[in-house]
Chains A and B, each alone.
Chain A
Amino acid sequence: MSRETVMSYINVFAVLKNMEELVRVDSVSEQLIKSRNIAIQFTVHKGPKAVLAFRNGEVMLTRGGGKADIKLYFFSPEHFNRMMDGKANPVPYKGLTKISFLTGTFMKLAERLEYYLRPDEEKLKDRDYFRANTEMTAYAAFFALSEIGNHDEKALHSSHAIPDGTILVKVVNGPAVTVIKEKGSLRTVKGEPDSPRCILSFSSLESAHLVLNGKLDTYTALATGRMAMRGFIPMIENMNPILDQVAEYLQ
Chain B
Amino acid sequence: MIEAKEDTKLNTYKKSQELFQRAVKVIPTGIPGHLGPVQSQFIPTSDFPFYAEKAEGSYFWDLDGNKFIDYMCAYGPNVLGYNNPVVDEAAFAQFKKGNCMALPGKVQVEFAELLVDTIDGADWAMFMKNGGDATSFAVMAARAATGRKKLVRIKGGYHGVAPWTQVDGHAGVVKEDVSNNLFMEWNDAEAFERLIREFPGQIAGLIATPYDHRIFTDNALPKPGYWQKIRQLCTDNGIVLIIDDVRCGFRLDMGGSAKYFGFEPDLACYCKALANGYNISSVVGKESLRDAASKVFYTGSYWSSAVPMAAGIACINELKRIDGPRLMIEKGEKLTEGLKKAAEANGIDLVISGVPSMFYMRIANDNSLMMHQEFCAECAKRGVFFVSHHNHFINCSLSDEDIAKTLEVAEEAFRIVKKNNPDKCN
The residues of A with any CB-CB pair to B shorter than 8 Å are 154-155, 157-158, 161, 165, 195-198, 219-220, 222-225, 228-234, 236-237, 241, 244
Q: A220-B29, A230-B370, A232-B368 are in contact. Are A155 and B43 (CB under 8 A)?
A: no
Chain A residues contacting B36 (CB-CB under 8 Å) are 223
- In the complex, the 6 A-B pairs of residues with the closest C-beta atoms, listed nearest first: A231-B368, A157-B169, A223-B30, A233-B40, A197-B368, A222-B38
Task: Tell me whether B321 is interfacial, beta carbon within 8 Å.
Answer: no
Chain A: which residue is nearest B43 at the CB level? A230
Q: B28 near A: Cβ within 8 Å?
A: yes
Determine which of B28, B45, B167, B168 lies in contact with A225 in the assembled complex, contact meaning CB atoms within 8 Å.
B45
11 further contact pairs, Cβ within 8 A, besides A223-B37, A230-B44: A157-B167, A158-B169, A195-B366, A219-B29, A228-B43, A229-B40, A231-B368, A231-B369, A233-B40, A237-B40, A241-B170
Q: Could you name 15 residue pairs across A and B whose Cβ atoms are closer than 8 Å?
A: A154-B168, A158-B167, A158-B169, A220-B28, A222-B37, A223-B24, A223-B29, A223-B30, A223-B38, A225-B45, A228-B43, A230-B43, A231-B368, A231-B370, A231-B373
B369-405 contacts to A (CB < 8 Å): 369-370, 373, 389
- In the complex, which of the residues A157, A195, A228 contacts B45, with contact meaning CB atoms closer than 8 Å? A228
Cβ of B368: which chain A residues have Cβ within 8 Å of it? Answer: 165, 195-198, 231-232
Task: Give B143-172 as 1s and 0s: 1 = Cβ < 8 Å from A's Cβ atoms.
Answer: 000000000000000000000000111110
Closest to A227 in B: B38
Chain B neighbourhood of A230, CB < 8 A: 43-44, 370, 373
On chain A, the residues within 8 Å of B169 by CB distance are 154-155, 157-158, 241
Residue B179 lies at the interface, judged by CB distance under 8 Å to chain A = no
Query: Number of residues in B with C-beta < 8 Å to the partner?
Result: 28
Instruction: Closest A residue to B36 by CB, please name it.
Output: A223
Complex interface: chain A residues within 8 A of B40 (CB):
229, 233, 236-237
Complex: how many Å from CA A241 to CA B168?
10
B288 at the interface (CB under 8 A from A): no
Name the CB-closest residue of B to A196. Answer: B368
Q: State the CA gap A39–B1 with chains docked (Å).
A: 49
* Any A CB within 8 A of the CB of B301: no
Shortest distance from the beta carbon of B350 to any chain A beta carbon, whole Å: 17
Q: Given the complex of chains A and B, what is the CA–CA distance between A157 and B183 in angstroms?
A: 14
Number of A-B pairs whose CB atoms are under 8 Å?
67
B199 at the interface (CB under 8 A from A): no
Decide yes or no: A223 and B20 within 8 Å by CB, A231-B369, A233-B40 being known contacts: yes
Whether the pair B45, A197 counts as a contact (CB closer than 8 A) is: no
Q: How far is the CB of A202 from chain B (nearest CB, A)?
A: 14
- Across-interface contacts of B45 in A (CB, < 8 A): 225, 228
**Is there contact, CB below 8 Å, between A219 and B28?**
yes
Binary contact readout B127-139 vs A (1 if CB under 8 angstroms, 0 otherwise): 0000000000000
CB proximity of B327 to chain A, nearest CB, Å: 33
Q: Which residue of B lies closest to A231 (CB)?
A: B368
Please measure, in the bound complex, the distance between the C-alpha atom of A228 and the C-alpha atom of B29, giving whole angstroms.
Answer: 14
Interface positions, chain B 24-40, Cβ under 8 Å from A, are 24, 28-31, 36-38, 40
User: When the two chains form their complex, are residues B216 and A233 in contact, meaning their CB atoms are under 8 A apart?
Assistant: yes
Establish whether residues B367 and A197, one from each chain, have CB atoms under 8 Å apart when the complex forms.
Answer: yes
C-alpha gap A234/B155 in the complex (Å) = 14
* Pair B369/A232 contact, Cβ less than 8 Å: yes
CB-based nearest A residue for B389: A233
Minimal beta-carbon separation of B19 from chain A (angstroms): 13
- Determine whether B46 belongs to the interface, using a CB cutoff of 8 Å to chain A: yes
With contacts A197-B368, A225-B46, A230-B44 taken as known, whether A219 is within 8 angstroms of B38 at the C-beta atoms is: yes
Are B171 and A241 in contact, CB atoms less than 8 angstroms apart?
A: yes
Within the assembled complex, what's the spacing in Å between the Cα atoms of A243 and B169?
11
- A236, B170: Cα distance in complex, Å: 13
A225 to B37, CA, bound (A): 10
A157 to B367, CA, bound (A): 23
A157 CB to nearest B CB, Å = 5
B30: A residues at CB distance < 8 A: 223-224
CB pair A234 B216 closer than 8 Å? yes
Of the residues A158, A197, A224, contact of B24 by C-beta under 8 Å: A224
User: Which residues in A have their C-beta under 8 angstroms from that of B373?
Assistant: 230-231
Question: Cβ of A244 and Cβ of B29 under 8 Å apart?
Answer: no
Residues of B within 8 A of A155 (CB): 169
A161 to B20, CA, bound (A): 32
